[in-house]
Amino acid sequence: MLRRPEYRRALVFCGLIGIPVSLVAFWFLVLLHELEDLIWVDWPHDLGWTDPPWWWPLPLALVAGAVVALVVLRFPGRGGHIPAAGLHSGGASAAAVPGVALAALAGLPLGAVLGPEAPLIALGGGLALVFRDLVRAPATEASTALLGAAGAAAAISALLGGPLVAAVILMEVAGVGGPQLFAVMLPALLSSGIGAIVFTGFGHWTGLKTGSLDIGLPTPPLLDTGAVVWSALMALVVGAAVHGIMVGGRITARFVSARPLRNTVLCALGAAGCAACYALVTGRSPSEVSLSGQTTLTRLAQDPHAWPVGALVAVLAFKGVAYALCLGSLRGGPTFPSLFLGGAVGVLLSPLPGLGVVAGMAAGMAAACAAALRLPVSTVVLVVLMVGKSETVPVIVLATVVSFVTTELLPQGPGIPKLRPRAGRERRPAS
Q: Is the pTM of this model over 0.75?
A: yes
3-state secondary structure of 423: coil
- CB count within 10 Å of CB 109 equals 22
* Dist CA 288 CA 295 (whole Å): 9
* Dist CA 429 CA 47 (whole Å): 59
Nearest to 58 by CA among 277, 241, 226, 384: 277
- Concatenating the DSSP letter of every residue in 3-28 gives TSHHHHHHHHHHHHHHHHHHHHHHHH
What tens-digit pLDDT sequence spans the chain (431 residues)? 667 777 777 777 777 888 888 888 888 988 999 999 999 999 999 999 999 999 999 999 999 999 999 999 999 989 988 999 887 766 668 889 999 999 999 999 999 999 999 998 889 888 888 888 777 776 777 667 777 777 787 787 777 766 777 777 777 776 555 555 555 445 554 555 555 555 555 555 555 544 443 333 334 455 677 788 999 999 999 999 999 999 999 999 999 999 999 999 999 999 999 999 999 999 999 999 999 998 899 899 888 999 999 999 999 999 999 999 999 999 999 999 999 999 999 999 999 988 888 889 999 999 999 999 998 888 998 888 888 776 788 889 999 999 999 999 999 888 887 765 554 444 444 44
Nearest to 273 by CA among 39, 113, 116: 113
**Can you name the residues that pair with 333 across neighbouring β-strands?**
115
Read off φ and ψ for residue 246, nearest 5 degrees.
-65, -40
Nearest to 289 by CA among 320, 264, 313: 320
Q: Cα(first)–Cα(last) distance of the chain, in Å?
A: 46
**Vertex 196: Cα angle to 194 and 201 (nearest 5):** 95
Contact between residue 178 and residue 151 where contact means Cβ atoms under 8 Å apart: no
* Dist CA 207 CA 202 (whole Å): 8
DSSP 305: G
Provide the phi-psi class of 185: left if phi over 0, else alpha when psi is between -120 and 50, else beta: alpha
Read off φ and ψ for residue 376, nearest 5 degrees.
-65, -40
